[in-house]
Amino acid sequence: MTKESCLESVLLSYKKYYDVSKNPCGTFCATAEFHSHEEQYFLTKSARIAEVDSNEYVYFALEEKLSLQKLKELSISAWADGLSKVKPFYGHKNSDISLIIIASSVEKNAAKGAKKIKLHKSYKLSFFGWSSFSLIVYDLSERKTWFNWHGRNLRSIFSKMPL
């Protein structure tokens, strides 16, 4: 399996609920966005009780050999770009940012470094919501995944990957 075919199968799992765009910029090969907005009313729309806004921004990267330095660069770039899209307000719940890296091979220090990347931001003491960073690295040569604390939920994408 090549990196490109692996990316296509991962993007298929996102296309149902996310807006996927390929080749958005030089750093990432694809991005996906999810937006959810809910409102609750009492009898009429003018009597609004609650408003909840939730977003997720997913970045995809393909690497030949992933080093710790490149992992940090990609993480910081995805985090910065994702935060630039966040607009917190009283009804904002969360805006999560995810980075999925598919690599032909991963250096040992990069694999260990993936667990240590922790990025989180709260807006006005979480009254205006928060942002968290999910990271998962998939090594094609060994068929292994490494992830940070928030990225553990992304494992299911790669557990169903065909050999």
Beta strand ranges found along 17-127 (DSSP E): 19-22, 30-42, 44-66, 92-106, 120-122
Which 3 state secondary structure label does DSSP give 5?
A: helix
Query: What pLDDT sits at residue 126?
Result: 78
In the prediction, which pLDDT does 58 show?
96
Question: Which pLDDT score, from 0 to 100, does residue 51 have?
Answer: 79
| Residue 10 three-state SS | helix
Domain containing 71 equals: 3-159
Which pLDDT belongs to residue 67? 93
For the chain, 163 residues long, give each residue's pLDDT as a single digit of tens: 788 888 898 999 899 899 999 876 678 999 999 999 888 888 787 777 777 889 999 999 999 999 999 999 999 999 999 999 998 888 888 999 999 999 999 999 998 999 999 999 998 887 888 999 999 999 998 889 999 999 888 888 887 766 5
Per-residue pLDDT at 31: 94
Angle, CA 136 vertex, CA 7 and CA 33 arms, to 5° = 65
Distance CA(26)–CA(80), nearest Å, equals 15
- The count of other CB atoms within 10 Å of the CB of residue 128 is 16
Domain count along the chain: 1
Alpha helices in 15-154 (DSSP H): 68-84, 108-116
The alpha carbon torsion through 57, 154, 161, 11 (nearest 10 deg) reads -10
